[in-house]
Every structure is written in C-alpha cells, then in structure tokens.
C-alpha cells in the first residue's frame, strides 16, 4: 500500500499539523506537466489561514529504471513565512495479501539516528532530545533502530510514547549524518521480500505506526467493507525539525521568502530481499 499526498506543516504559535484546519493534503493540486516517467503538481496558498505571504509549491513524482521513485518539492513565498513540507506515504509492503495478519509489526526498520525529539502529550516539541540509548548504562530504548529490528520487536515498551493511551511510534528522529547521498531509512518485509531504501536532503524523519488510522480499504486490499486500522501501515516522512520555529534553542531557520526558496527531495529505491 502506498498512499501519496503532500502535507504542509506551516507552524506558528500552535500545532498546525498537516497545515492547519484544512491542510494541503485536502486541497486541490493542478497537474502542470507530465511525461511517461513523471508528473508535476502545483498548489497556490493565498495567505491561507492567516499565514503571511502567498506560497506557490510544485511537487514532482518521477520514476526511473532500477526501481527508483523520486519526489521533489519546490516552494516560493512572496513574504517571509514559515514553511515545512513533507510527503506522507503509508507503507505496507505486504499489500494486505495475508488476511490473518495485515499489520506492519513484522516489517524490519532501520534509521540512521541516535536521538528523537521530546514532545508533550499533544505531540508538541518541548526542546530536549531523547537519546535512543541510555548514556549511563548503554542499553538501547525502544526508539533505537540504528541496527535493524522488527517494528514490533519492543512493542510492549511503546505504550504512551506516541501520546497518552497510544501504543507504537509517532516520533521525529534526527539523522546522525547527511542522508542526501546515502540511505537514511530502510524498510523491508520478509513475507513479501520487498525492500525500500530512502535517501533525502532533509535532516529528520517522522515514523508513525498509524495508531489512529481508520479509513475504508481500497478494493484491491479487501475493501471497502474492511478498514485500514491501527498498525496496518507505517508512515515514514522525511522532514525538517518539527516545530523548530517555536524552539529557537535549536538554531534551525524555517523561514522562507523572496530569494530564499524551500527545497525538499527524497529518493525511494526498491529492491528484493530474497
């Protein structure tokens, strides 16, 4: 299962996940160009929901030989304004072919990151970072995917870390290295044998194991009488530091304007593990 949408995260003085009350994931995007291997969409945000300036964004999806999918987003603004874009893809590499187990808990995950952003009960960053391992004793925490492990390997330890009453992950990992020319995140399934390796120009990645997912399935996945529900997919979103505009101690600038454009790029390389 791959669901594509561009999410807009312009954040200012509140948590405006997905871009506000009506985020860019629920806006109409216009196709402005296409070829046998690519398609480009355009969206214009006319100072929507009180943000300064008008923002024009172009999102291009392209494919190439060798099982490569690449997405780029280019955004310009008429005034200085906060911009943070990502692509929200829900992955289930088994495509719901096993009716007895539709979750992604047996998928293998590897993330080149040794810290995650600490958040409050509303998923708003509080400033500190959480090390994926205890610096005093060395044991790793459930966040530690530097060496691959199944997503559900430490599932009983994930209660409440994605919010009160939530089990699983919905956290922002900060990459240890630049991932533009190397793999930052990998996901694969032994059941289907499909693997995806992800590289990006972004400094962080959000991993969300879909605790709140509840929407009818596509017909090819057994729907619409069945729903995609909690843990049926994992979203892996390449992004900037979440809510950095309200966390000045990080020293991260997410303000863009005339002559200072936003650029987002991520490459997905598909292969087989057996």
Q: What pLDDT, on a 0 to 100 scale, did the predictor assign at position 11?
A: 39
Q: What pLDDT, on a 0 to 100 scale, did the predictor assign at position 137?
A: 62
Q: What pLDDT, on a 0 to 100 scale, did the predictor assign at position 136?
A: 66
Each residue's pLDDT tens digit, 147-158: 999 999 999 999
Each residue's pLDDT tens digit, 61-119: 999 999 999 999 999 999 999 999 999 999 999 999 888 889 999 999 999 999 999 99
Encode 161-177: b = buried (16+ Cβ within 10 Å), e = exposed: bbbeebbbbbbbbbbee
Encode 129-144: b = buried (16+ Cβ within 10 Å), e = exposed: beebeeeeeeebebbb
Average pLDDT for 37-54: 93
Q: What pLDDT, on a 0 to 100 scale, did the predictor assign at position 122?
A: 84
- The yes-or-no verdict on residue 15 having pLDDT over 70 is no
Each residue's pLDDT tens digit, 136-192: 666 789 999 999 999 999 999 999 999 899 999 999 999 999 999 999 999 999 999
- The yes-or-no verdict on residue 6 having pLDDT over 70 is no
The first and second tokens of residue 259, run together, are 């002559």
Average pLDDT for 186-213: 97
**Mean of the per-residue pLDDT values for the chain?**
91
State the burial class of residue 182 (Cβ atoms within 10 Å of its Cβ: 0-12, 13-18, 19+): exposed
Is the pTM higher than 0.75? The answer reads yes
- List the single range of 25-29, 168-172, 207-211 with lowest mean pLDDT: 25-29
The first and second tokens of residue 42, run together, are 């355009």
Give the number of residues written for the chain.
Answer: 274
């Amino acid at each position: 299962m791959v669901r594509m949408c561009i999410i807009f995260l312009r954040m200012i003085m509140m948590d405006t996940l997905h871009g506000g009350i009506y985020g860019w994931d629920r806006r109409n995007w216009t196709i402005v160009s296409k070829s046998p291997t690519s398609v480009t969409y355009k969206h214009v945000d006319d100072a929507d929901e009180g943000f300064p300036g008008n923002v024009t964004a172009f999102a291009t999806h392209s494919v190439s030989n060798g099982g490569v999918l690449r997405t780029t987003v280019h955004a310009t603004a008429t005034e200085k304004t906060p911009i943070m874009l990502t692509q929200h893809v829900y992955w289930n590499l088994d495509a719901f072919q096993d009716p007895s187990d539709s979750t992604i808990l047996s998928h293998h995950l590897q993330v080149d990151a040794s810290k995650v952003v600490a958040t409050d009960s509303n998923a708003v960053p509080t400033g500190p970072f959480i090390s994926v391992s205890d610096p005093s004793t060395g044991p790793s925490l459930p966040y530690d995917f530097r060496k691959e492990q199944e997503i559900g390997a430490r599932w009983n330890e994930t209660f409440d870390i994605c919010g009160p009453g939530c089990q699983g992950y919905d956290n922002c990992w900060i990459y240890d290295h630049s991932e533009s020319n190397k793999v930052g995140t990998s996901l694969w399934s032994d059941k289907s044998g499909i693997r995806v390796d992800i590289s990006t120009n972004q400094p962080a990645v959000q991993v969300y194991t879909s605790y709140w997912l509840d929407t009818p399935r596509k017909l090819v996945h057994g729907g619409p009488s069945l729903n995609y529900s909690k843990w049926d997919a994992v979203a892996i979103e390449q992004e900037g530091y979440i809510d950095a505009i309200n966390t000045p101690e990080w020293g991260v600038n997410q303000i863009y304007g005339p002559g200072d454009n936003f650029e987002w790029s991520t490459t997905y390389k598909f292969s087989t593990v057996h």
